[in-house]
C-alpha cells in the first residue's frame, strides 16, 4: 500500500470513528490532510463522516488545483486559511459537535479564550481557542477571519456552527478537536457550580513543560 493510500484509509477511519461516537452527524463536518507531495486530500461536499470512500476523496496538487476525486467541501476557504498561515499544519478537521456548539451560544465564553481552564489537556493540544462570530455556512469570510489571526491559533470555534482545528497530522488534529468537545462538555456540566479552575501558574507550567504555542 502506498503512503497516499494509507493516508486515505486513515482519514476515512478516523472520520467514521468520530461519526460513530456522535461527534458530528448527517453530512456535517469536513476533514483534510496534507499529502507527501504537498497536495491535499479533502472530504467531498455533502458526504457523511460515517461513509467516506477513500477513492473518492477530493485530491489537490501542491499548486492548489483539483486533480481527482469528487467536488470538495464548501468549507475549503477554512482549510486553506490554516494551511496558508500555519506552515506546521498537516491536517484540518471541522465538526458540528454538540457541546462545543452549545457552549458557543451562551454568554460565558471569552472570545479570545473560548474554553475555561478546567484540565491541562485542552491547553496541551489546542492552545487558546478563538471564538469567531457566526458566518453563513460556506461563506468565504470564515477563511478571511482565520487568516486575520495570522497563524497564531491552531483552533477556532465558529459561533452557532462548530469547531475547526489544525494539527501536525490527521491523527493529532482529530485528537485535539475531540479534546475541545470534551472540554466544552465539562464546561457545561460544571456551569453554575463554581468549579475549581487551573490557576495561571498551573497553566503556565503546562504551557512551558509541553512547549505549547500560547498566544496572548
Residues belonging to the active site: 75, 121
Nearest-5° angle of CA 73, CA 56, CA 81?
Answer: 30
Give the cell for residue 162. 462548530
Strand, helix or coil at 31?
strand
d(CA 211, CA 169): 17
Q: Which residues are paired to 130 by β-bridges?
A: 156
Residue 13 Cα to chain centre, angstroms: 17
Please state, in angstroms and rounded to a whole number, the distance separating the CA atoms of residues 131 and 207: 20
Amino acid at each position: 500500500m502506498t503512503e497516499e493510500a494509507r493516508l486515505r484509509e486513515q482519514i476515512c477511519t478516523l472520520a467514521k470513528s468520530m461519526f460513530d461516537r456522535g461527534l458530528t452527524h448527517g453530512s456535517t463536518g469536513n476533514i483534510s490532510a496534507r499529502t507527501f507531495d504537498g497536495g491535499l486530500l479533502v472530504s467531498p461536499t455533502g458526504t457523511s463522516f460515517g461513509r467516506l470512500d477513500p477513492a473518492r476523496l477530493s485530491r489537490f496538487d501542491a499548486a492548489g488545483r483539483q486533480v481527482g476525486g469528487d467536488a470538495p467541501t464548501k468549507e475549503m476557504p477554512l482549510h486553506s486559511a490554516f494551511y496558508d498561515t500555519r506552515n506546521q499544519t498537516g491536517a484540518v478537521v471541522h465538526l458540528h459537535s454538540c457541546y462545543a456548539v452549545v457552549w458557543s451560544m451562551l454568554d460565558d465564553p471569552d472570545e479570545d479564550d473560548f474554553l475555561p481552564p478546567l484540565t491541562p489537556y485542552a491547553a496541551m493540544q489546542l492552545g487558546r481557542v478563538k471564538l469567531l462570530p457566526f458566518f453563513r455556512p460556506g461563506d468565504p469570510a470564515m477563511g478571511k477571519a482565520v487568516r486575520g489571526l495570522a497563524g497564531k491559533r491552531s483552533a477556532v470555534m465558529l459561533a452557532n456552527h462548530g469547531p475547526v482545528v489544525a494539527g501536525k497530522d490527521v491523527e493529532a488534529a482529530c485528537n485535539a478537536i475531540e479534546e475541545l468537545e470534551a472540554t466544552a462538555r465539562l464546561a457545561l456540566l460544571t456551569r453554575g457550580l463554581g468549579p475549581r479552575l487551573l490557576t495561571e501558574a498551573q497553566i503556565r507550567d503546562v504551557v512551558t513543560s509541553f512547549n505549547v504555542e500560547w498566544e496572548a
